[in-house]
Structure formats: structure tokens, C-alpha cells
Amino acid sequence: MKKTLFLFVALFGFSVAAVAEDYYVNITNNTGYTIEYLYVSPGNSDEWQDDVLGEENVLPNGSTGRVILTGYSGPIFDIRVEDNEGDTYTFPAFNVKEYDLVVGPDDID
């Protein structure tokens, strides 16, 4: 039976002139490794924000976690995950309103 880990992580974005909205994305780890770091930044940002998993949380292989994104002006985000082997998987301009994210071996950077 597949275990599901639901991570409720709130991110507070920078407000701009547009009305801030809340979004979420379900991330499924099919990499074969444990995801230790998860970075989510607005699509118009040049820098990664802090790790949303925090020091105490990981996303084991085969698990799905939900990231709550609070206070952003749009649904486009850059997403990067890093596994316990140090491999990264980057998804630029990902529309969280239309899709959930499944990370697999073919997505490695």
C-alpha cells in the first residue's frame, strides 16, 4: 500500500500590485531516492527561496506531498528538488493551477 505524506507548507510571497492568491501543488516522488530539499520560487524571480521542506521533513520515494503557496500573484512557479544523492530536478515556469508534479529519473538535471 502506497504511503502518502502530506506536507502542509505555507509560503508567503512578495505582494505586488495584483491581488494575492493561494495555490497548492501535489508533488509525487518517483525518483528512486528520498527528496531532501524542495525549493519553490515565483516564476518571475531570479533566486530560489528557502527549502520548503525544512530541516525535519523529507519526501520518501513513492510518496506525495502537498505544498501550500500563499500570497502569490500568479500560478507560475519555478520548482527545484534535490534528492539524498545530491541530484537536482528543475521545473521552470511550472503552472501549479493546471498540473501536479511527478518527479522521476528522466527529470534529472
CATH number at residue 78: 2.60.40
Residue 43 lies in a domain: yes
CB-neighbour burial class of residue 35 (10 A; exposed 0-12, middle 13-18, buried 19+):
buried
Q: Convert the pLDDT of each residue in 46-72 to its tens digit.
A: 899 999 998 889 999 999 999 999 988
pTM of the model: 0.80
Residue 42 lies in a domain: yes
Q: How many domains does the chain have?
A: 1
Residue 77 lies in a domain: yes
Residue 58 lies in a domain: yes
Q: At 44, is the pLDDT very low, low, confident or very high (cuts 50, 70, 90)? A: confident
Containing domain of residue 53, as a range?
9-103
> Under a CB-based contact definition with an 8 Å cutoff, are residues 15 and 71 in contact?
yes
CA angle 98, 104, 107 (to 5 degrees): 80
Residue 1 lies in a domain: no
Residue 108 lies in a domain: no
